[in-house]
Amino acid sequence: MSSATPPGWYPDPSGQHGTRWWDGAGWTQHVGPPTAQMPRPRIADSVRTDTVFVWLMALLPLITLPLLFVYQPHFRFEVIGPSHVRTVDPRSVYTGGYFLVQGVSVLLYGVDVLLAYFDHRELKRRGVVRPFRWPWAFLSPIVYVIGRYVVVCKVAPGRPMWPLWTYIAVVVIGGVFGVIRAVAQFQQMLP
């Protein structure tokens, strides 16, 4: 910093602290927290905030519903041990349909992460400053979609959030359907 620089808080040149006081002639021992990030600027009303990628993320769970019919275990029971304990034969649970459903689920997870990356990139292209980070989709795609709309509400308040509500509805419907299916399968296992 030069002597022409007025006194004030500036980024710490050592990188150890957020800010350090410059007294006009040199750095002092007074340090402070990092400066707050600038607020995100609003985008024009003509700029669309919903991308094809977020819509695909919202509708992608619908692909898994028909897969629930692919997995049709026929539970076989066997008696093991001297006390004749009745248990499910694991070969009747881990069928080809089971592994197909698991493989497609992993593939869809990867597709969701990729869609989050493309959505993030598209939002930046449309002028959104610091859009929600796409790696949050690794935790769960719904985390990314919710976080994305938190940011969108800041840069484009009042815009409809149809992909978010669609995603939530699809997840809830799929969850109810999955629980009903699981209860029906567990009833097969009961003596």
Tens digit of pLDDT at every position of the chain (191 positions)? 555 778 888 888 887 777 888 888 889 988 887 766 667 888 999 999 999 999 999 999 888 878 777 777 777 778 888 888 877 777 777 888 888 888 998 999 999 999 999 999 999 999 998 899 999 999 999 999 999 999 999 999 999 999 999 999 999 998 898 898 888 878 877 76
- For the chain, state the CA radius of gyration: 27
Among candidates 141, 100, 93, 103, which has minimal Cα distance to 120? 141
Scan for tokens 């989050």, then name that residue.
116
DSSP state of 83: T
Query: pLDDT tens, 179-189?
Result: 988 888 788 77
Residues 6+ positions from 17 with CB-CB distance below 8 Å: 31, 32
Q: What are phi and psi of 24, to 5 degrees?
A: 100, -20
What pTM was computed for the model? 0.72
